[in-house]
Amino acid sequence: MLELQNLSRHFGGVKAVDQLDLDVVQGEILGLIGPNGSGKSTTVNLITGVYQPTNGALRFKGQDIADLAPHQRTELGIARTFQNIRLFGHLTVWQNLWAARVVRERGWSGFRERWLSGAKAAREQAEELLVFGDLAHKRDHLAGNLAFGEQRRLELIRAAASGAELLLLDEPAAGMNAEEILDLDQRIRRLRDQGRTILLIEHHMELVMEVCDRVVVLNFGRKIAQGTPAQVQRDEAVRAAYLGADHHA
Ligand SMILES: Nc1ncnc2c1ncn2[C@@H]1O[C@H](COP(=O)(O)OP(=O)(O)OP(=O)(O)O)[C@@H](O)[C@H]1O
Ligand SMILES: [Mg+2]
């Protein structure tokens, strides 16, 4: 579904992502892990068009997307959540969801008309997502006033509300307690069961090992291992990378 070929992004001397080959297969939950600064968020930023690659190719459903603007990639069916939550804090829960839905359909042009006229089916889908995210009772609350775990849930359903087939989740469990992580585990599985494909970046290894079909491991921007969760857990290079990171910390 998504193919990265020999993809690099360098910032001056820092090789944030370096010669990365990565395939995301339709219908899978692919984990992307690695120590701090190993290039995970940069990879998401390259896929979504926040950054241009220094080198390499990016294809989504067979189409070269390297020259497309971020909103065009959203229209094609790629959505993300942010490592540091980025909601419209002064808008309500519902408005955050609806904005994602409306912008999906041809970016910001004519946004106001589409906001007001949105089709019934689209509204129903957004309502379903509110329930899915356990936020129906908070629909008219300002996003900025939600508890942390609720904001993370809103980010997740907002990404889904765009109708995207590929969801890029950048540390969705960061700051969550154990119970919230279990809920997230269930939600990620259900999104996949509804036909979405998921790239999951996470530091919570229990979640990665539980929920991912496959895992790719980065270190210093390079892919150092890939395989089933059990395989990468046993991998010597992976262990060394995480131990090295512990030494730094
Ligand atoms: N805009 C930028 N300008 C300069 N350097 C950057 C920029 N973005 C990322 N980097 C550097 O690229 C490297 C990879 O960063 P990235 O944020 O992708 O790591 P990460 O794997 O997401 O880390 P974390 O687990 O801490 O979120 C780091 O050395 C980082 O400092
Ligand atoms: Mg990151």
pLDDT in tens, 143-159: 999 999 999 999 999 99
- The per-residue pLDDT for 179 is 93
Quote the CA–CA distance of 215 and 21 in Å, as a whole number: 13
| Nearest CA residue ID for atom 26, ligand 1 | 36
Does the Cβ of 35 fall within 6 Å of ligand 1?
no
Q: Are 32 and 238 in contact (CB under 8 A)?
A: no
Nearest 5 degrees, angle CA 154-CA 110-CA 95?
Answer: 20
CA–centroid distance, residue 118 to ligand 1 (Å): 38
Distance from residue 154's CA to the centre of ligand 1 (Å): 25
Q: What pLDDT shows up at residue 110?
A: 65
34 lines ligand 1 (CB under 6 A): yes
pLDDT at 138 over 90: yes
**Helix-strand-coil percent breakdown of the chain, rounded to 5?**
45, 25, 30
* Rounded alpha-carbon distances, angstroms, from residue 7 to 81, 121, 241: 21, 39, 21
Spatial separation of the C-alpha atoms in residues 23 and 214, rounded to whole Å = 11
Per-residue model confidence (pLDDT) at position 99: 87
Asked if 89 and 144 touch (Cβ cutoff 8 Å), the reply is yes
DSSP state of 51: S
Residue matched to tokens 């379903």: 128
User: Encoding tokens for residue 161?
Assistant: 């509300």
Residue with tokens 């929920």: 211
**pTM of the full predicted structure?**
0.91
The token pair that represents 105 in the structure block = 């359909």
The three-state secondary structure class of 214 is strand
Q: Is the pLDDT of residue 248 over 60?
A: no
Which of ligand 1's atoms lies nearest the C-alpha of 45? Answer: 18
Q: Which residue's CA lies nearest to atom 12 of ligand 1?
A: 16
The CATH fold assigned to 1-77+165-249 is: Rossmann fold (3.40.50)
pLDDT, residue 160, reads 93
Q: Is the minimum distance from the CB of 36 to ligand 1 under 6 angstroms?
A: yes
Of the given ranges (4-8, 116-120, 182-186), which has the lowest mean pLDDT?
Answer: 116-120
pLDDT cut 70: percent of the chain above it: 91
Which ligand sits nearest to residue 220's alpha carbon?
A: 1
Residue nearest to atom 5 of ligand 1 (CA): 11
User: What ligand 1 atom has the least distance to the C-alpha of 42?
Assistant: 18
Distance from residue 44's CA to the centre of ligand 2 (Å) = 9
In the predicted model, is pLDDT for residue 217 greater than 80? Answer: yes
Residue 214 C-beta-side C-alpha neighbours within 13 Å: 15
**pLDDT value, residue 249:** 44
Q: Where are the domains of the chain?
A: 1-77+165-249, 87-163
Out of 41-45, 82-86, 194-198, 222-226, pick the least confident.
Answer: 82-86
CA–CA separation, 53 and 66 (whole Å): 8
Average pLDDT over residues 185-208: 95
The answer to whether the CB of 41 is under 6 A from ligand 1 is yes
User: Would you give the DSSP letter of residue 221?
Assistant: T
